[in-house]
Structure 1
């Protein structure tokens, strides 16, 4: 059943249509009726109908003006115009406003019912299209594993920001939260096949079957991936996928100790290597990168795993090669590139406290992993602090409020003797700056709304005052302003303006002898009849009745 609003200034037309048409039988429910365009607009905002049937000639706002407003505010709503005019100009305007149907008076109830059935069919078709969108959504969910593999591939192919990683994990339903991460690459040894059974070898426990004479590398990779998936089933956060003709394993651990994490990883990989050889008759070499503290660093762990595989030429295949065993530990470099700088600024300005806290903990964990001297630690902390200072300076934050009297924030860094002490101080500064930015933003919102209210108080007598005029004065967009104004005042701009005008009219009626039409003009109504209509609607009395009542009081 579709909702419909009927707007016509003639009561007998409204009542006649209500009685003569069996609305339910043609799929409609008339939720309300209006006697003028302004009232219709208010009812449309209230009921959000699917269809509006409106006459052209109505007081306060005619049918074409109402249609134009509908197209601006509710562009998908269907509009049927009723008119006794055949002039070309009316028809031309109706076409320009994308009127759904244009009905000439006099018309029969059967004729209008036929048009309404046609409009219902159009809405039905549109709903069917929306169902198709739902089908696409279902298709998206069916293809979620493919999207997950693409994201995991991007995780090892290029550095990603933590914000992007968090968004993609949420979108693709991946649970990858952990303390440490390790990337391993499983590569088939070239030109080596152990003898298989006459037709195929099966391992019931793993549900595998590989033809004995296959040379199809993709099939072999798929079989290897199946075994990996079976083994990591007890580790729900781990992910395995095929990338560049290798099987890549992302291992996720809650243990923050990198040495223990690597030990567990190597034992798990040895189980896998043994299973490949036993059940698939395939030999593999597995390269393992170092453990890293964040998903954004998995790219570097992957590169180390690739480099470890290069040692297959010297060490031979069918073994696990951990980069830490074949190369002297490379002094870790504190990664605070442009990507992480942008991430820190984003968290300070628009991120949540949790996001900011996680990012800072990750940065300090990476900083501590570098095992630098105290002086190097202080210098790198200063680099991070410079980003914070720049973010504060860009929006004119008072440094004394942020760092305390004297603002000796640089000397403060060099007074720390323990890294944990510096970490607590830096995180506290960042959280304080974030709150100051949020407070300043809220203050700017309040100032903006106060300026708009002041403008309304100064100009409500102007019948042409509009949200666009206010926004032009404040130098902001109407869409941005509308959201802020409604959130702060709990009223739309139009409703707030109407309340101001009605309050002003009440005061004038009670304190002056001016006539109703004069007061209407003074409070911004060009049409005194519409002023009386709005006044009665708000207070339940006509302006004259209100004045008489206030004088009695």
Structure 2
């Protein structure tokens, strides 16, 4: 409620003002009164009213002297002067002291009420603006880690985001001029990844990223794990200046990561290691080399075909010459996933234009990159619940790909396919805004699973009704919002339990549950075992995922 104080040396004025102010209508309360400026000074300092109605000419200290002293001490109350003096000098001083209104006696009851309504309306607008600013700052604080990761992702993939570029230029995100190595990570081995559902894809990638982050926290604290698309992640390794890591140390780190992912998730991953590059702007070169190494079996390290470096062969060239495929694939995956026809085509044309500048493009390079790009298309639309096999016969596609001879052939073929994909899928009536809303929900769940997440709150954030958003989410993921949230929490809980560092009640709290018996019940329903049972032996994560999938009907 708004607090109003009255200061006047005339007791009849004080009593009259108390009676004529419509307190209930204004949602206001009486904050006190004073009969001179000195008393008024103490009253305002103690009661801190929102609005002060004051006379000017009063004994001991006049109203303007009182107001000046209050302004000098930082008082932000709104002042309405009610005075029998209309002298211009008084009005000029009042203006300098940021008086809200200046009324001369006698004044009507209607005028007093209208002035107070106007002042309170202004206060309400300011309060709403402050609340909005507070919420905005909370959101900025909440999403700063996300923005920092997006900045790193833009450096790793070589894509350009003007917002993130401004953050780097302003120094909000700092990366020193040092050496970096990029690891390209592909989730390779699991029967569930042959034809995973969209939510499973996110969950597998999320689980791998989380385990890697925790493993790297102890071994390489400055490392950053970045989720890219479908089965792919990247790890950015800053090389310490004071104790430069050797290639063998990086190799050993990769062996540890592949072993631990296999142990905890029963998944195989392949890792391509890029060459060291100095400075943030050169990181993308290491990324390109890392992803090229993934596809080059000749670079496998001795005794481990899942860890690969590009062999150093004088005069050897990479498929596609010096073109930067990683940012291209990342951008195309995003644009085709959102069915952005013209953006996808423009990016393909720009890529081909850069490619042909190198000259010496061989037909086998064209077909290799075409096959990779078609796979990216397939993965991207699959994440939206579609299958390219429903649109194009696979045998026909393979034959067409095998006939491509030049970058121009590739460009024309993909332009035709892009237009066909976008127009045919858009005719299905799937709304882009709705897909983006579901994407936001999934990302939010993975980032805030430990918090009290409610569907109604997310519905407010994406400006859709709760029931409609629930239906959209279920149609997109194959399970309810609550089931998906529980799945993510239980996967994270398994990781915490296997670490052996936390008591069960601590694990429950870390994944968003304050009621431990309820958490244990959910955990058993989800995994088929009690939380304490998980500590008794290694977990068969693949069997657990299958059991969980059958239970939820995904």
**What is the TM-score of this pair, normalised by structure 1?**
0.38
Larger Rg: 1
What is the TM-score with the length of structure 2 in the denominator?
0.38
